[in-house]
Structures are given as structure tokens and as C-alpha cells.
Amino acid sequence: MIRKYIDRLFGRGHKVTHKDARPTIYAKDKHDVRREDISRCARKTCEELQRAGHTAFVVGGAVRDLLLGYKPKDFDVATSATPEEVRGVFRRSRIIGRRFQIVHVLCGADMVEVSTFRAHFAREVDEDNVDEHGRMLSDNIFGTQAEDALRRDFTVNALFYDPVKEEVWDYVHGLKDLKAKKLVMIGDPGTRYREDPVRMLRAARLSAKLGLEIDAKTAAPIATHKHFLENVPHARLFEEIRDPASWVGRISPEVAARR
């Protein structure tokens, strides 16, 4: 029964629905991201974690932007290592956060944010998992790489890059959507907006910033769910709109030459 619910939630016509899902792996000759495109600190972080026996990838917006030919401002790393294990690998690091801990790894003046793979346990809407405004509440716990991909918001934000093997790992057809200039929500859009209404703003921002067309199913619930934004703290709304890390820089000459 639980498996059927997960399959329904993360449908969209593909079979990537559980922790044992296998990614499509694109070798270096199948994409435009190169090791030298990644910051030295992010490369070192992935290399050292892998050397210690963990999996570690650059993930999210940085991978998306590099595939589009833009130079990211920040690089995040996702890993199978727990925060304590990450802390044990890097002397210059600190664990932050309470509800879900992440690690800041320092390399000189540079810093990389490292998070452990998370699982997304969405539940049926009932009085026990919604707040007074009707917003869904969800649990965050450690999980597998596949589960980490599925709990992210849009398919283009769920791409992993291994700077050691120079491979892109894709669990949710994110690369195909990126090439098609489509912004597609992972899972049921209405449910995902209720979990975090800021995703509606993010959809509009990414669409405008990157020239992506919002998928019809992804856009459909926004009109009926926009009132959930009224109960989001103004500071968080402002952060989503103005966050400098979310705005890409100029196109990278190195990437432009390969396009």
C-alpha cells in the first residue's frame, strides 16, 4: 500500500519511485560540464569524501546552470556521509542546523555546504500533518541518493555531478527537461506547493531567469494555492526573490566554446 502511494506521488510516467531506483548516468562526452568548471573547494570536498569511502556529488542549481552554460556563484555537495562523518574528514568544517544538520567545509576563504542524502516522506493530507493554514508538514530524515533526488523540487534541480568521474547522474529526467527548456515539478505539484508554498515563487523566478517554460501540470495548481504564500514569513519570501546565490553569472567562456 505504501509503495503504491509512493508510485502515485512520484509518477509522471517513469519508474524512479523508490530508494532502489537506478539513475541514467551520462558520461563526460554526453554533457558539457567539466571538472575545471567546478570550484576547487567543491572538487576537493567530493574527492576527499570519495577517498574516505563515501559517495559525493555536486548537486542542484550549480549543475543546472553549468549545463545551460552559465557560471554558478555557489556549489553545494550531497553525500552518503552523515554530518559527523563529514566533520571527521575535514578538520576545517562545522556542523550547523538543528532540525536537519548540514556541514560547512572551509577551504581558505571559500566554503562549500555539504548535506547528507535526504528521504522525503510525504503523507496523505489529514489533520495531523497540516498546520493551521492548511500547509502540509513533512519529515526530513537521511536517505539514499535516489530518495534525495525525489524529494527535490524541480527535475532540473535534481541533477548530480561527479567531478571525479565527470559523470552526470539523473534520476528524474532532469537533463531531458533542461534540453527541452521545461520546468517540471517532481511528484504531485499541488502537494509539493502545500509542503512549501515558496516553490511557486521559485517556479516563476527560474522560468524568467533561465527561459524555461513551466510545465502545464506544474503551473496548474498555482492559481488555487497562491494564498498559502500569505502565511510565509516575509523574510523568507524576500530571500527567495533576492538571494544572490540563486542568480547565475555571465555565460562561461569555457562552456560557450563547447556549445
The pLDDT, as a whole number, for residue 6 is 40
Question: Does the annotation count 74 as an active-site position?
Answer: yes
From CA 220, how far away is CA 226, in angstroms rounded?
A: 11
Q: Is the pLDDT of residue 3 over 80?
A: no
**pTM (2 decimals)?**
0.81
2-258 CATH choice from 3.30.460.10, 3.40.50.920, 3.20.20.10, 3.10.129.10: 3.30.460.10
- Asked if 27 contacts 16 with a C-beta cutoff of 8 angstroms, the reply is no
Q: What is the pLDDT of residues 167-205, one digit of tens each?
A: 999 999 999 999 999 999 999 999 999 999 999 999 999
From CA 253, how far away is CA 75, in angstroms rounded?
A: 19
Question: Does the annotation count 126 as an active-site position?
Answer: no
Q: Is the pLDDT of residue 134 over 50?
A: no
Active-site choice (32, 37, 74, 177): 74
The pLDDT, as a whole number, for residue 109 is 92
Q: What is the pLDDT of residues 17-69, one digit of tens each?
A: 455 688 999 999 999 999 999 999 999 999 999 999 999 999 999 999 999 99
Active-site choice (32, 37, 148, 153): 153
Exposed (0-12), middle (13-18) or buried (19+): which is 205, by Cβ within 10 Å?
A: middle
Question: Does the annotation count 131 as an active-site position?
Answer: no
Q: What is the pLDDT of residues 219-236, one digit of tens each?
A: 999 999 999 988 889 888
Active-site choice (32, 37, 76, 177): 76
Q: What is the pLDDT of residues 82-105, one digit of tens each?
A: 999 999 999 999 999 877 899 999
